[in-house]
Amino acid sequence: MKKGGKLIIFSAPSGSGKTTIVRHLLNKFDGLAFSVSACTRQRRSGEIDGRDYYFLDEELFKEKVQNQEFVEYEEVYPGNYYGTLKAEIDRLWDMGKHVLFDIDVEGGLNIKKEYGDKALSVFVKPASIEVLKERLHHRSTETMEQLQVRLNKAVSELKYEDQFDCILLNADLQTAFETAEKLVSDFTGLKPNDQQYLKSVV
- What lies within 8 Å, CB to CB, of 77 at 6+ separation is 41, 146, 149, 150, 153
Range of weakest confidence among 19-23, 28-32, 73-77, 167-171: 73-77
Best CATH choice for the domain 7-201 from the list 3.40.190.10, 3.30.70.980, 3.40.50.300, 3.40.50.410: 3.40.50.300
Q: Which of the 8 DSSP states describes residue 117?
A: G
Q: Tell me the C-alpha distance between 190 and 202, whole Å.
A: 14
What's the average model confidence in pLDDT over 64-84?
Answer: 93
Instruction: Report pLDDT digits (tens) over 137-170.
Output: 776 666 777 778 778 888 888 899 999 999 999 9
Distance CA 9, CA 168 (A): 12
Quickly state the pLDDT bin for 201 (edges 50, 70, 90): very low
Could you tell me if 65 and 71 are in contact, meaning their C-beta atoms sit under 8 angstroms apart? Answer: no
Per-residue pLDDT at 197 exceeds 50: no
What pTM does this model have?
A: 0.84
**Averaged pLDDT for residues 174-201:** 81
The structural domains of the chain, with segments of one domain joined by +, span 7-201
Residue 54 has pLDDT above 60, yes or no: yes
Q: Helix/strand/coil (H, E, C) string of 139-198?
A: HCCCCHHHHHHHHHHHHHHHHHHHHCCEEEEECCHHHHHHHHHHHHHHHHCCCCCCHHHH
Q: Which amino acid would we find at residue 96?
A: G
Cα 82 to Cα 84: distance, rounded to the nearest angstrom: 7
